[in-house]
Homo-oligomer: A and B are copies of this chain.
């Protein structure tokens, strides 16, 4: 039976868009610039356990401290704020922070802020009950079913920006969506930022690999948005990694200072591979994560109080037989749930987890691991979920097919995060009473009223009977995804960009590129 083709019109149109046509994957009622969660986060630990973790994070900062390298200015800022500084030698300092000091500094950080996009309808909020999905970040390789695994290029980069822009289930264009390895290391940030601006109208991340590249990224936003707007609003963010355990190097802190000084956002992410750079036990990893991320976040507030900042958590595990990192495993999923609780207690937005996997193919392992990780991200209350699409191969490869699977999953998560509405209409007593025991509900007024928006309609899953599926060739999910990303690229249309701004951006890039020789490291 096909409710759509029965010729009856629904009594109400679903909120948020047009009704579904016959093509799969249409869920206009779920399309939003960012998600406002309708379900509570999943709180794993009780008050005592959370306090123990917070106390341990405080002890780490007060008794062990963190090492800062090659940025005397960052050290000066923390010393003036009260840190105990010990010089370790040339360009290295150990800083210790009295209990409560970092939390005190962070009181000026906003609990929630807006990142502006060039299309205002694409602005996203970060913090509170807002959830933002962005593509995976940082893979040197790309892969697809046709050509296998190879180094990423700027063409791949543009393709992924276009695919992301084409998906209603991502809200943000991300950053280093893959490494464009065919462009010099010291210049590729220009092409990356330009591609985000040109091929997407959503918010994005800028460069963090060198302070001058951070400045270039912000400068390109000034061309796009105007100097005054940028000074008053967050239009770009940088995604910074601590050097775990307990180190902040100068490239990182100078980058953080550049974003903060410009009043732009920054994400502060310890990449914790348990057993290598953090304890094997999740309680310890989470305590360390909190200590490192809060300290890195605090630097922004010393540079410019009120600058937008995002607590970060990237917990992974290890194959204890081989020493290989593992992703999408159960223990980090639990750790992420705890990080959500800690972020809410710190009153800071959180970036956490994503669609992680170590699989080398878009296969069953890929989506099993992805789901383990991604469910923890949405359940923990994370606000900005980088790595929401494309992640394979332990973050070494961006997969075209996985990208399509993940974006479809992100759509499902829109339905999941919407939650269950409980009212007289949804309780549907009248629908059951209308027909009574033993009678199907197909033609009840209640079904007709809800059929367009009751269930997420996947663009990728095959829910047909086996016989139909078999007659159509018995296609697996990876092959369907392969067909779909090509079709999506074929129908992509770039959002309009003011030609004057485009020319100014290209001029800036050309001048910056001409100002320095290519560097490949």
Contacts and interface: CB of A to CB of B under 8 A. Distances in A.
Interface of A: 1-4, 20, 22, 24, 39-40, 42-45, 49, 52-53, 56, 59-60, 63-67, 94, 141, 149, 243, 245-247, 274-284, 286-288, 317-326, 329-331, 333-335, 338, 358-372, 375, 379, 393-394, 396-397, 405, 409, 412-413, 415-416, 419-423, 425-429, 431-433, 435-442, 446-447, 450-452, 454-458, 460-466, 469-470, 474, 476-478, 481
25 contacts: A2-B322, A3-B323, A4-B320, A53-B427, A60-B429, A63-B429, A63-B433, A275-B442, A279-B432, A280-B428, A283-B428, A284-B428, A284-B431, A284-B446, A287-B427, A320-B454, A330-B412, A358-B463, A359-B461, A361-B477, A364-B364, A364-B405, A365-B462, A368-B370, A394-B465
Given A283-B427, A334-B420, A396-B466, A365 B368 contact: no
> How many copies of the shown chain assemble into the complex?
2
A319 B426 contact: no
A329 B408 CA distance: 12
Contacts of A437: 64-67, 94, 245-247
A67 B42 CA distance: 39
A17 B46 CA distance: 30
Given A246-B436, A367-B364, A371-B372, A281 B454 contact: yes
B462 A338 contact: no
Contacts of A3: 275, 320, 323
A455 B279 CA distance: 12
B279 A420 contact: no
A103 B100 CA distance: 52
B358 A284 contact: no
A39 B361 CA distance: 32
Contacts of A321: 2, 4, 20, 22, 24, 457
Contacts of A429: 56, 59-60, 63, 284, 287
Given A279-B441, A281-B450, A326 B455 contact: yes
Given A59-B429, A371-B367, A429-B59, A45 B420 contact: yes
A245 B438 contact: yes
Contacts of A447: 275, 279-280
Given A330-B456, A359-B477, A426-B281, A451 B375 contact: no
B436 A322 contact: no
Nearest to A392: B466
B371 A319 contact: no
A499 to B, nearest CB: 42
B461 A365 contact: yes
A431 B359 contact: no
Contact of A284 (B284, B426, B457, B458): B426
Contacts of A456: 329-331
A279 B431 contact: yes
A335 B420 CA distance: 8
Contacts of A405: 364, 368
B39 A446 contact: no
A331 to B, nearest CB: 5
B283 A478 contact: no
A426 B283 contact: yes
Contacts of A439: 245
Given A42-B42, A279-B432, 7 more contacts: A44-B420, A49-B420, A277-B441, A330-B415, A360-B470, A364-B476, A368-B371
A295 to B, nearest CB: 11
Please list the 10 inter-chain residue pairs (A to B) with the smallest Cβ-Cβ separation, ordered nearest first.
Answer: A284-B428, A371-B371, A279-B428, A246-B437, A67-B437, A280-B454, A367-B368, A281-B426, A365-B477, A1-B323
A419 to B, nearest CB: 6
Given A284-B426, A284-B427, A363-B364, A455 B329 contact: yes
